[in-house]
Structure 1
Amino acid sequence: MVGQLQIEVLGELNVRRDGQLLPLPQSKKTRALLGYLAVVGRPQRREHLCKLFWEVPDDPRASLRWSLYKIRQITNTHDVDRLTADHHSVLLIPQAIDLDFTNVASLRPGDLDTLDVEVLESLAAAFRGEFLEGLRLPRCPTFEAWRLYHRDLVLRSRIEILRRLVSRLWEYPERARFYAHAIESLRGDAASIDLRSEAPDASVSGSSRDVARGNASATANRAGQPGSELADASAEPKAGPTVGTPQARSQAIRFCRASDRVRVAYALCGRGPAIVRAAHWMSHLQYDWESPVWRHWIDALSEEMMLIRYDERGNGLSDWDVADFSFAAMVTDLESVVDAAGLERFTLLGVSQSCAVSVAYAVRHPERLSGLILYGGFVQGWRKRSPHDVATHEAMTTLIREGWGNSNPVFRHLFTTMFIPGASQEQMGWFDELQRITVSPDNACRLHEAFGEMDVSDLLSQVAVPTLVLHARRDAAVPFGSGREFATGIPGARFVDLDSANHILLGNEPAFETFIREVGRFVAETVQR
C-alpha cells in the first residue's frame, strides 16, 4: 500500500517507506527507542520508557519527548499516525508497520519442517546481522537485558533456518555449502549459546556436513538418555565472555530435551566441583547473568565450583509452549539437565519451590549426589496448607492472570516487595522487569497452580544424602516454619537460620555472606566423602 512503513531490526536498524531508506536520528537512544517500540508492539508507560533509557541526573521526560518528536518525523505521515502518545503511554501501532522480526518471532521448531525451501531462503535472507546491531547501551541495563534476550532468540532462529536449508539442499552441494558457510560465520556470534543440540541429521558431503551439524560429530553418543543430542556437554565451558560482562566472567548456554521433547536451556560457568541449582520460576539465564538481583549469587557460587543452572520449562530461554507443568515434569527436567551435562556426582541446590523438586530427585538418585542444599523452600504447596493460605494464593492467581503482563507494574511491584523488601530501587526495577520478561501471564498462572499441589512430606524420611537447610528468618514469601519442616523431616539435616527478610538474599547483606560461607563449607565437607 502507499506509504507502507518497513522497520528492520534483524541487523542494523533500518526504516523504509515505500522501499526507500529513511535517514534516522543520530541519537543512539532514540534509535534504540524506535526499535524497542516496534518489537514490543503494545502500549508502553512513559515512566517505564524513561527508566529504560535515561538516567536520573538527566531530564528523562524531556529526553523522551525529544526522542518521540524525532520518531514521529519518521513514522507518521499526513494521513497515518503510526506513533500515538498521550500523557501516560506510547504506542507504535503494530498493524501499521511491516516488521521483519514478526515472522521470525512467531516461528516454532516444528514450523520449519513444514516450510518449503523457497520460504526458508526468504527467511534466511531477512537476517542482515545481529538483532539491533550497533545499539548496545551498557548504561541502560534493563534495555540491554531485553536486547540480549532478543539477540539470542534471533540468533537461534537464524541458525535453525540455515540448518534446515543445509539439510533440505543436500542434493545441491553448492547451495548447501553456501548456507553451511553462513552457519560457520555465525559460530563466533554464538559463543555464549551452545546451539549444537538442534543439529539436523543431514547428509552433506565434506566439511559442509560438519558445519551443517554445528560440529555434531563431537556429540556424545548416549542412546536413549535424555538430552543425548547435546554435543560434548560434559566439557568445561568454552564460551567467550558474554557481551557486556567483564572479561573474567563467561557462561556457556546449552539446550537439551526432556522426555516429552520440551527444550530446556541450561548454563555452565566456573570451575571446580559441580553444583546444580534446580530451576525456579522467573529465571532467565542471560538476564540473570547481568541482574543485580541474581548476579552475586552466580558469581559467588561459581567462584570455586562449576555452577549449572537452567530455566524452568515455560520460563526464560526454555520452551514456553508447554503442555505439562506438573511436579513430575519438573523432576524430569532436572534429570535431563544433569544427564545432558554429563554429571556423575554433584551437589544439588534447591531454591524456593525447587527445594521440593530437589528432594524428589535426591530420593530417586541418591548415588549421584554428594550433598543436598535447600534454601527458602516449602514441603507442602499452598493448596495443602491452611484455608487462609489457600484463599490468599487463589487471590494471587487471579492477580497474576490480570496484572502480570500489563504495562501497569502495580501488581508486579507488590510481588517484588514480597520477595525482596530490602532491595534498592535499581534492584526492584530489575525484578519488576524480570517477571514480565521471563514468563508469560498464562505460564505464571499455571506454574503457581502447580506449586500449590506440591507435597513431598512422605519423601523427607527417605532422603539418604547429607543435607543442609537454610531459611531467612523473616521471609515473607515462604514462612520460616517451612524451612524447619525440611530440617526436622530429613534425617541428619543441619539447619541454619539467616537474619534476613528477603526471599532472594541480596549481595550487601550479612545473611548472604553467611549463606555462601555455609554452602562452601558444606560442599567442601561432602565432596570428600
Structure 2
Amino acid sequence: MSDPGLEIQTIGAFELRRGEALMPLPSSRKTRALLAYLAISGRRHTRQSLCELFWDTTDDPLAGLRWSLSKLRGLLNIDDLEVLNSDREAVWIDTELVTLDKDRLNALGNQTGYAEKDADEIWKATTGLPLEGCELPNLSTYMTWVESYRQDYLRLRGSVAKRFARDTDLPWEIRDKWAERWIKVAPYSRGAAFTAFECKYFAAGRPAALSLASNLTNSFGEAGIEPPSFEIEQSKGADVGRRQELAPTEQQIRFVEGLDGVSIAWASVGDTGSPPLVKAANWLNHLELDWDAPVWSPLFKELSRTNHFIRYDERGCGLSDWDVDEITFDKFVEDLEHVVDAAGLDRFPLLGISQGAAVSIRFAALYPERVSKLVLFGAYDQGWRYDATPEQVREREAVMVLTETGWGMDNPAYRHVFSRTFMPDASMEELDWFDEFQRLTTSSENAVRFLEAFSTIDVRDDLAKIQCPTLVVHSRGDMRIPFATGRLLASRIPGAQLAGVDSQNHLLLGRESASTRFVELVQDFLASP
C-alpha cells in the first residue's frame, strides 16, 4: 500500500493536495463541508447522524449523503487505498492516510524544542480563517462545530505566541515579534498586554512602549476591561517575577453539613481578594493527599496564584463523611451548592473534571445566575448504562465485583484496573502513588457505589440550558473518555469552545506538557471578557 500523500488545508481557503498537486474540490459546498467534518473529527459517524447534521430539511437525506460520498470517493480513493470508508451504518476517513495543515501547529503548540525560525515558518504557513468556503449558515449545529474549530485554532496560536514571547533565552527583538502576535490573537488578555509592553520597552525603547501602553489602555477601556498596570520601573522581569511567585502552601480546610447531616470537607487557598474559582469534586478526591500529588497538584497550585481557589471532597471519600446513606448524582449537585454557600459565593466560574464535569453542567443549568464561566475537562454527559452492549454491561459489572473484593488489599492489581486507564503514560512510581491514593481515599463499598452512581449520570438535556461562556478541554488520546465524547458534548452547549491537549491521560500528570497547556487554556479563558 502506498502513501496517497493527501493533505487538507483547513486554515484559509479550504484545499486538498495530493503531493504538490492541487486537487479540484466538488462544486457542492455541502460536500466540501462533509469532507472537512469527516477529516477533522477523525472518527466514525453514523449515516443517520450525518443526515441530521447536513440534510435534515430535505425530502431524501440519505440520497443526498450517498451523492456526496460518491463525489468524495472519486476524489480521495485511488488504486487500493480507501481513504474514505463506509459500511451500512457508518462513514469515516482513514486519518492515517490524510494530514491536516493544523497538525503542524498542534505539534508546535504541544511540543518543546522547536527552533524559533522553524516556528516562525509554521506560524506564517498557518495564517488565515479556518474552513473558508465550508460555511453553511442555514445549518446551526454544523456552524457551531465550525466555530469551535476556529476558536481552538485561535487559542492554539495564542499559546504558541505566548511561549516564544516569554522565552527569556530569545533576544528582545524576537520576543517582541511574538508578543505582537499574541496580543493580536488575544487582544483582551492582560498577560498578553503586559508582555507586549515589556518586550516593546526593551526591544524598541521607552517611547514605543508608552505608545503601545496607551493604545492598549484605550482598547481595554472601550471593552470595559481593567488593563494591567504598565509600570516602566518594574517592567524588566516584573511579569516573570509574578509568574514565579510561590502560591500559598497552606490550605484552610473547613466543613459544611448537608441537609441529610453529611459533613462535606472543603478547602480554600489563595488571596481572598482574587477572583474566585470553584472546582467541583470528582472521584477520587482527598484535600490533604492530593495537594502535593503528582497528578493535579501543579494545576491546583498554579490556579491558586491568580484565583481564590475552592475545592471539596465528595461525600463518601477524602475528608468528607464516608458512612453516608446516599451516594447519588443529585446529592453531588446538592453538596456543591452547600460548599459555595458556605464560601459566601454568589457568582463564580466553575471547573469540572471527569464526572465532576457532569455535576458542574447540572449546577450551571439549575443556577445560571450563579455560574459566570464553565470549564470542563475529560467530560461526559451520560453514564455507560445508557448505550452499553450486553457484553459491555457484563464487563463493567465484573469490574465492580473486583472492586468490592480487592480494593483494600495491599496487592494493587485490582486498583490497576483504574490507574492504567486513568493514566496510561504514568511511571511505575506515579502508578504506585495513585494505587495507594485510591486505597486511602475511600472504602471498597463506597468505590462500588460511586461506580454505580456514575453509570447512570444523564445531563444530556442540561447541555442546551447552559447560558455562560464554556470551555471544554479534552485529552486527544484519552483512553477512558474518548476525545469524540468531549467534542460531541461541546457541540451541544450553546457557544462552547473546544480545545484538545496532546495526552493519553484522563488525569493529567503535572510533569507533562499537556498539563501546562491546560493551565494556560484555563487562565486565558478566565481572563477573557
Q: Is the 8 A contact 2:248 2:269 kept in 1?
A: no
**In the alignment, residue 323 of structure 2 is paired with which amino acid?**
D
Find the aligned partners of 1:411 and 1:340 in 2 and give their Cα distance.
37
Shift of 1:277: 0.7
Q: How does 1:279-318 map to 2 (within 5 A)?
A: 279-318=281-320
Decide which of 417, 422, 427 is 1:424's aligned counterpart.
Answer: 427
Shift of 1:510: 1.7
Matched residue SS, 2:310: strand
Q: Is the 8 A contact 1:280 1:352 kept in 2?
A: yes
**In the alignment, residue 254 of structure 1 is paired with which amino acid?**
R
Q: Which residue does 1:471 correspond to in 2?
A: 474
Shift of 1:368: 1.2
Q: Is the 8 A contact 1:379 1:485 kept in 2?
A: no
Shift of 1:485: 2.1
Find the aligned partners of 2:408 and 2:387 in 1 and give their Cα distance.
28
Q: Which residue does 1:260 correspond to in 2?
A: 260
Structure 1 position 509 matched with structure 2 position 512: yes
Give CA-to-partner distance per residue, 1:92-112, whole Å, 9 cap, x none: xxxxxxxxxxxxxxxxxxxxx
**In the alignment, residue 250 of structure 1 is paired with which amino acid?**
E
Find the aligned partners of 1:247 and 1:301 in 2 and give their Cα distance.
9
Find the aligned partners of 2:343 and 2:248 in 1 and give their Cα distance.
22
Q: Which residue does 1:269 correspond to in 2?
A: 269
Structure 1 position 524 matched with structure 2 position 527: yes
The 1:389–1:499 alpha-carbon spacing in structure 2 relative to 1, beyond 3 Å, is farther
Q: How does 1:435-446 map to 2 (within 5 A)?
A: 435-446=438-449
**In the alignment, residue 360 of structure 2 is paired with which amino acid?**
S
Matched residue SS, 1:523: helix
The two structures have a TM-score, normalised by structure 1, of 0.52
Shift of 1:517: 0.7
Q: Which residue does 1:87 correspond to in 2?
A: none
Q: Which residue does 2:385 correspond to in 1?
A: 383
Find the aligned partners of 1:411 and 1:478 in 2 and give their Cα distance.
20
Find the aligned partners of 1:427 and 1:443 in 2 and give their Cα distance.
24
Shift of 1:247: 9.3
Q: Which residue does 1:108 correspond to in 2?
A: none
Q: Is the 8 A contact 1:376 1:470 kept in 2?
A: yes
Decide which of 488, 497, 503 is 1:500's aligned counterpart.
Answer: 503
Q: How does 1:117-136 map to 2 (within 5 A)?
A: none
Give CA-to-partner distance per residue, 1:273-300, whole Å, 9 cap, x none: 1111100122100001121222112111
Q: Which residue does 1:409 correspond to in 2?
A: 412
**In the alignment, residue 345 of structure 1 is paired with which amino acid?**
R
Shift of 1:334: 0.3
Decide which of 331, 336, 339 is 1:337's aligned counterpart.
Answer: 339
Q: Which residue does 1:363 correspond to in 2?
A: 365
Gaps of 5+ in 1: 1-245
Find the aligned partners of 1:497 and 1:247 in 2 and give their Cα distance.
27
Gaps of 5+ in 2: 1-245
The 1:410–1:469 alpha-carbon spacing in structure 2 relative to 1, beyond 3 Å, is same
Q: Is the 8 A contact 2:350 2:374 kept in 1?
A: yes
Find the aligned partners of 2:403 and 2:483 in 1 and give their Cα distance.
24
Give CA-to-partner distance per residue, 1:187-209, whole Å, 9 cap, x none: xxxxxxxxxxxxxxxxxxxxxxx
Find the aligned partners of 2:371 and 2:414 in 1 and give their Cα distance.
39
Find the aligned partners of 1:478 and 1:395 in 2 and give their Cα distance.
19
Q: Is the 8 A contact 1:293 1:430 kept in 2?
A: no
Decide which of 483, 486, 489 is 1:486's aligned counterpart.
Answer: 489
Find the aligned partners of 1:498 and 1:444 in 2 and give their Cα distance.
29
Give the RMSD, CA atoms, in angstroms: 1.4
Q: How many residues get paired? A: 281
**In the alignment, residue 278 of structure 2 is paired with which amino acid?**
V
Shift of 1:414: 3.1
Shift of 1:301: 1.6
Find the aligned partners of 2:370 and 2:299 in 1 and give their Cα distance.
24
The two structures have a TM-score, normalised by structure 2, of 0.52
Find the aligned partners of 1:440 and 1:519 in 2 and give their Cα distance.
33
Shift of 1:484: 1.2
Structure 1 position 328 matched with structure 2 position 335: no
Q: Is the 8 A contact 1:273 1:305 kept in 2?
A: yes
Matched residue SS, 2:288: helix
Q: How does 1:31-430 map to 2 (within 5 A)?
A: 248-271=248-271, 272-387=274-389, 388-430=391-433
Matched residue SS, 1:289: coil
Shift of 1:413: 2.3
Give CA-to-partner distance per residue, 1:495-515, whole Å, 9 cap, x none: 001110011111222211111
Q: How does 1:19-30 map to 2 (within 5 A)?
A: none
Give CA-to-partner distance per residue, 1:99-128, whole Å, 9 cap, x none: xxxxxxxxxxxxxxxxxxxxxxxxxxxxxx
Find the aligned partners of 2:364 and 2:434 in 1 and give their Cα distance.
30
Q: Percent identity?
A: 48
Q: Is the 8 A contact 1:359 1:463 kept in 2?
A: yes
Shift of 1:452: 0.3
Find the aligned partners of 1:507 and 1:327 in 2 and give their Cα distance.
28
Find the aligned partners of 1:422 and 1:480 in 2 and give their Cα distance.
17
Find the aligned partners of 1:280 and 1:348 in 2 and give their Cα distance.
13
Q: Which residue does 1:453 correspond to in 2?
A: 456
Q: Is the 8 A contact 2:247 2:302 kept in 1?
A: no
Shift of 1:248: 4.4
